[in-house]
Amino acid sequence: MTRTVGHLLAESLAAHDVDLIYCVPGESYLGLTDALTEFPQIRLVVCRHEGGAGFMAAADGRMRDGRAGVALVSRGPGVTNAMISLHTAYHDATPLVILIGHVERKDVGRLALQEQNYSRLLSDVTKAVFEVIQPIQASEVIARAFHLAQTGTPGPVAVILPEDIFDEPAEGPVVAPRIQPKPGPRAEDLDQLADMIANAERPLVLVGGAMAACGDQGLADLKRLAEAWSLPISPTHRRPHLFDADHPNYGGYMGIRVPKPLLDEMKKSDLMICLGERLSDSISQSYTFPAAPDPQLPLVQVWPDANEIGRVWRVDLPIAADPHAVIRGLLARNAPEASAGRKAWVKGLNTIHRGLLAPEWDATPDGVNFAAVCAAMARHIPADAAVTSDAGNFSSFLHRYFPFKQTHMFLASNVGAMGAAVPMAVAAALRRPGKRAVAFVGDGGILMTGNEIATAMREGVAPVIILSDNSGYGTIGMHHEGRYPGRPYDQATSLVNPDFVAWARAFGAAGLSITAEDQVEAVLAEAFAITDRPVVVHVKSSALQASAWKKRTMPLPA
């Protein structure tokens, strides 16, 4: 056969070490899927909805140490279904390349079936949109897309592929992956940072997204830095696994609605270092800590893209560099002797954090308090498992009661999109064979993308899905009660749910149920003993937990 553009694109994807592509089949890119049959090293994962495929690709981009995940979708409805994952990847700085089938070139501009202007449609959720118009540029565009997705502030890049181009003859070589630049810190920046840390009595180090791409060695060096320089480390929103929660230098999770005792102590800090964190409203407690645009304390920000530093906040020391390089630079210096005040500061933060972990919660007569499930999970989830979470009230219990470790992988949508947990768990099970993937999801999100259990069955992977069912959109009900106390809101938030155990079994998955707290241990043990198929653990959880949070010191839900 004559080498076609479809074959050249497949060769180019293989050259960029792509081994998993998530898709919903579409006639607009048949020429590519046909070519991929000759590339057994690339596994095409056929999903049930483009939103699920996109979330899987975004999760893959989080698990590959800076290399992009890949989604393949059709034009029109296909790409609009997938936009939720592009929004997630854009805000989360996740490298992702989405390949989009398009109408034939001769029909562009005629309002052909499912035609859209993708440069306009995707301008606010991608770093760039490239279109392959000439066959000779096909491999070049792929190389450019991966390079842009993976450098600077990572993010999603779209490649538009007209339907009629795949079968055209293709000339020219495969364009090799471009060398990824790793910006290093200037010596004077390291000197200044070392001095600022040495002179601070109460420093606080927030570690975020860019640290997640530094691999196991980067996280090990982060731990060494914390110990050598006597620093409290606080993982940020949706990055709880970046530092061991049981380590004495753990300073508490810095995400949505930090418990008041911990946040009050954090606010006594006299130096904030954002290490691999570009900051957001979720992390800054709605732009109050640090205050925007002028922080109430000295602020250091380490992020690989200079254009991102100082975009919202005035930064006292901006360092446009790979955060791992900064850590190595500090470790190469002699660590100053920590003062008694510094040691007391680190111990004080950790003591408050440990106090908040106390396994106690209010009884809830209308169902299981989900805190009991999350606390018990510490005895069942393996230390090398991937944990995924949807958005919802239940996730606050997970962040408070489950002790994450650096050996875990945590995946979620940074923008709080519902529907991420199940497809991300499927992707984690595919990417990390032999290791467990555990999804936490509510009854609102499970019926958005839970059909990807069918994808797990097709691909032979076995995630464990923990489903919190309180028969409502609980977070919205909580906000309504807080804003309009005493006013009814059930009409806008209540849900009528299926029999979730029967629903799970209809896919061929195992379906288990927890309706009382004394069942938690036995049912979880049974769930994790099943390894040959997906497992859904239906927890009939309390709808009264929001009021219980308000009566005690428990954090409000995220």
Q: Note whether 224 and 333 are same-domain residues.
A: yes
Helical pair 520-529 and 370-377, crossing angle rounded to 10 deg: 50
Q: Cα–Cα distance between 445 and 422 in angstroms, integer?
A: 9
SS3 content of the chain, % helix, strand, coil (to 5): 40, 15, 40
Q: Do 418 and 392 form a contact (C-beta atoms < 8 A)?
A: yes
Length of the chain: 558
Task: Looking at the structure, tell me whether residues 272 and 197 fall in a common domain.
Answer: yes
pLDDT band of residue 359 (cuts 50, 70, 90) is low
Could you tell me the CA-to-CA distances from 106 to 50, 86, 167, 171 in Å, in that order? Answer: 27, 28, 15, 22
Same domain, 337 and 409: no
Residue 65 has pLDDT above 90, yes or no: no
Same domain, 72 and 199: no
Same domain (yes/no): 270, 414: no
Q: What's the number of domains the chain is made of?
A: 3
Taking 70 as the threshold, does the pLDDT of residue 50 lie above it?
yes
pLDDT in tens, 468-486: 999 888 777 777 777 888 7
Residue 550: pLDDT above 90? Answer: no
Q: Are residues 382 and 514 in the same domain?
A: yes
Residue 110 domain boundaries: 5-162
- Residue 358 has a pLDDT of 65
Asked if residue 172 belongs to a domain, the reply is no
Same domain, 283 and 323: yes
CATH number of the domain within which 256 lies: 3.40.50.1220
**In angstroms, how far is the first alpha carbon of the chain from the final one?**
56
Helix (H) or strand (E) holding 8: helix 5-15
pLDDT at 182: 83
pLDDT of residue 472: 81
Mean pLDDT of all residues in 123-131: 97
Residues 67 and 118 in one domain: yes
- Please report the DSSP string for 136-193 in residue order: GGHHHHHHHHHHHHHSSS--EEEEEEETTTTTSB--SPPPPPPPPP-----HHHHHHH
What's the whole-model pTM score?
Answer: 0.94
